[in-house]
Amino acid sequence: MPQPANVEETRREAGLQPNQPARERWAHAWRLSTRYFVSDDWKWAWFLVACFCAIEASSTYIFLLTNRWQRSFYDAIEQRQGGLFLSLVLTFAMIAALEIGVIFFNNIVGMTLAVRWRKWLTEWYLGRWFARDRFYEIERLRLIDNPDQRIAEDLKEFTAMGMPYGTSPLVIVIGLVSSVIRAVLFAVILTQTSSPISIPFFGHEIPLPGGDMIWFAILYVLFGTVVITWIGKPFVRRRMREQHYEADFRSDMLHVRRNAEQIAFSGAQRIEQDGLRVAFENIRRNWYQLMLASAGLSAGQSIYQRVMGMVPLFLTVPKYFAGKITFGQVQGARDAFEQFSASLSYAVNVYPSIARQVANVNRLKALDDAIDHERPRGIAFTPGGTPDGVAISASNLELRRPNGALLLSVDQWTIREGERWVIEGPSGAGKTTLLRAIAGLWPDGAGAVAMTQRGSAMLVPQRLYLPLGTLKNAICFPDRAEDHDDAVIAALLDQVRLSTHIDAMHELRMWQDELSPGEQQRVALARILLQRPTLLVVDEATSALDADNAANFYQAVIGELPGATIVSVVHDEKLASYHTHRLRLDHGHATCAKIEMKA
């Protein structure tokens, strides 16, 4: 797989360059998180957020009910109040039923919001990715790796809400607000079992509000947060590397699938297998480092949670032995301490989720930077900028490679309507690049290109694109198959000598794999005859055809479209006779000539 261009964001993701300032990253995360909530779907967005917040408030209320029930239950056990046992069991059942309902609706609301949010962001990214041919420019310059994976996977994680996958920034923020509210509520409960605490200061005792339980919880959380954050620091980078290497591995395997026949014919199985082995080796090496980072983080969190359950007992049991509080208050204080500490240590508990979202936001920012990246256009392209009677004009044209090296110079080239031009030259002379330039797809260089907007234009590459679906879909592309009658398509298949596929035109197959290169180029001919363009640009569209079918290709086009303007790249001199003009590329320069028609 070709390596990405040596651009800043690629180097950052590879760990070869420091990240952008945190302020820029946070600003991007804020814009990405809030964009949907001011979109055309804002009513649904805010309604579902309000429902989600109401569910979080209900969860907090259930925590309070559970805490009160625990105190009553353990007090009843301590005082052997058997008559209260049945009512307490029924109360527990009602609280449990309420909790089940809250969890159920939390999933429904969260996942509904997630899919609507993801749908809107996906359409927004796809629109920008396809706009101005950014998808082509990103791949041509290798600005970033795997933009498809970022749109499919990173957006999915970024918008995930509801159990068990709710880790989106919105969930984290709502959870933070909820944790603050819970901390206040459970702090009030802790004051009932806390002892006064004061700090000696120059012979004076300064009392602290809240009591020892609250201050021990605060100190414990601060200490745990610092330690867990330090332990988990490598996790973010390793998580980003994991996404990067996993995406590369999937892309390499997809490459094998797409080129399975060529690999099998050439006996390149071992080479491709070695390449996949190298790609997976990157995953393996990073996995061990990620494993250590994850294990350290998990161990720290586990110890943190275990000790959190014991600290309140160490503080309250002596008071229970002294008869100052009841056994129910001990259990209630323990629960309140854990809830209070969990609320204060929210960042510690969701640190893995925050780390994943940091990685997602970084990768999405790289995608945004690549989509918004505007490389200076050296070649001015003007659709509709030709005078009457001129289909394409190029002046002072210089084609350069992305690294700046000069490829081809074309001083003046004018293609009048109805002319048929053949472009000739040795391999690597710049023929395909020239076609990209006159189509506005190659900005690297200098000069100006103008193309008429009168009529319709069609560009046919050497390797035809066949969309997934039926053969009829492939022929009608980019039109819908329903827009053309079966009889018309059947006649075209017969005309281009593909009549054996007429009965299968509606079958769903991988036609890109089933049709030979020669058959695919005959599908291209059928597409041309169906669309009937007035300007046709073809890049070696007969390279896989035998001499008879290649001649039939041009005879059919000229016979059916006698007034069409044609620009084609061919290597067979016999096919040049179907053209009226020649553009010869040699040693970086182009010369124009008229082809004399033989009697």
Q: Is 105 exposed, middle or buried (0-12, 13-18, 19+ CB in 10 A)?
A: middle
Residue 6, domain member (yes or no) = no
Cα-based distances in Å from 230 to 169, 220, 305, 380 = 21, 16, 17, 53
Q: Is residue 1 part of a domain?
A: no
Sort strands 204-208 and 197-201 into parallel, antiparallel or unpaired.
antiparallel
Span 16-46, pLDDT tens digits? 456 666 777 788 888 888 999 999 999 999 9
Q: What is the CATH number of the domain that holds 343?
A: 1.20.1560.10
Output the DSSP codes for 435-447.
HHHHTT---SEEE
Interior CA angle at 565 toward 562 and 566, to 5°?
100
Average pLDDT score, the chain? 84
Residue 397 has pLDDT above 70, yes or no: yes
- Residue 452's domain spans which residues? 380-594
Domain count, the chain: 2
Same-domain status, 360 and 413:
no
Work out the angle at residue 563's Cα, subtended by the Cα atoms of residues 559 and 564, and round it to the nearest 5 degrees: 90
pLDDT band for position 2 (cuts 50, 70, 90): very low
Q: What number is the average pLDDT over the span 448-455?
A: 90
pLDDT at 203: 60
Which value, in Å, is the radius of gyration of the alpha carbons in the chain? 35
8-state DSSP, 375: -
Same-domain status, 297 and 439: no
Last residue of a domain, one of 337, 372, 407: 372
Task: State whether 332 and 397 are in the same domain.
Answer: no
Whether residues 368 and 385 share a domain: the answer is no
Cα(117)–Cα(169) distance, integer angstroms: 12
Answer yes or no: do 119 and 163 share one domain.
yes
- Among the residue ranges 149-158, 277-286, 293-302, 385-394, the one predicted with the least confidence is 293-302
pLDDT band at 6 (very low <50, low <70, confident <90, very high): very low
- State the pLDDT at residue 352: 75
pTM equals 0.70
Residues 362-391, mean pLDDT to the nearest whole number: 87
List of residues 6+ apart from 142 with CB closer than 8 A: 2, 3, 4, 5, 10
Which of 80-84, 159-163, 521-525 has the least mean pLDDT? 159-163
Residues composing the chain: 599
Residue 39: predicted pLDDT: 92
Percent of the chain with pLDDT over 90: 30
Q: Could you report the per-residue pLDDT of 196-212, keeping only the tens digit for each?
A: 665 665 566 666 565 66
Instruction: Report how far residue 433's alpha carbon sits from residue 445's, in angstroms, rounded to the nearest whole number.
Output: 11
Domain check: are 277 and 394 in the same one?
A: no
CA distances to 34, 299, 376, 393 from 385, in Å: 41, 67, 21, 9
Q: Does some domain include residue 316?
A: yes
Instruction: Indicate which CATH number applies to the domain containing 413.
Output: 3.40.50.300
Top-confidence residue, 472 or 337: 472
Is the bond preceding 164 in cis, omega lying within 30 degrees of 0?
yes
Among 247-261, 464-478, 574-588, name the one with the lowest average pLDDT: 247-261
Q: Is residue 3 part of a domain?
A: no
First to last CA, the chain: 52
pLDDT surpasses 80 at 331: no
Residue found under tokens 């110079």: 409
Q: Do 296 and 231 touch, CB atoms closer than 8 A?
A: yes
- Say whether both 398 and 341 belong to one domain: no
3-state secondary structure of 473: helix
Give CA angle at 47 (41, 50), nearest 5°: 140
- Report pLDDT for 573: 83
The reply to whether 365 and 453 lie within a common domain is: no
* Mean pLDDT, range 410-414, rounded to an integer: 92
Q: Which of 372, 393, 410 is the last residue of a domain?
A: 372
pLDDT score of 390 more than 90:
yes
Q: Which residues pair with 204 in a beta bridge?
A: 201
Handedness of CA 530, 535, 541, 546 (dihedral sign): positive
Q: Helix 212-258 crosses helix 327-344 at what angle (to 10 degrees)?
A: 50
